[in-house]
Amino acid sequence: MLLLLCEAEKRNCDLIVMGTQRHGMFENALLGSKAQRVVRQSKNPVLVVHLPEEGSRTVSKKKG
């Protein structure tokens, strides 16, 4: 079992949140390989968040 899943079970976590970056269609179509393994093997719900590429704008400031 993955260390992350062992820790989540030991700490009695309700939810696991992971970040992932897409690297292209041919490299893990939806999720990174680690995120895929966690989603498949976890007994707990897993929320996978797509992380923006480095240098991209992630927050737009509201004018006013």
Tens digit of pLDDT per residue, the chain (64 long)? Answer: 689 999 999 999 999 999 887 665 555 555 567 888 899 999 999 998 887 776 555 555 566 5
Would 12 be classed as within a structural domain? Answer: yes
Would 55 be classed as within a structural domain? Answer: no
Would 27 be classed as within a structural domain? Answer: yes
Whether this prediction's pTM lies above 0.75 is answered by no
Provide the number of structural domains found in the chain: 1
Neighbours of 25 (CB within 10 A): 8
Would 43 be classed as within a structural domain? Answer: yes
Would 24 be classed as within a structural domain? Answer: yes
Would 31 be classed as within a structural domain? Answer: yes
Query: Rounded to an integer, what distance in angstroms lies between the CA atom of residue 30 and that of residue 28?
Result: 6
pLDDT at 20: 80
> Range of 36's domain?
3-50
pLDDT at 58: 56
pLDDT at 61: 56
Would 61 be classed as within a structural domain? Answer: no
pLDDT at 49: 87
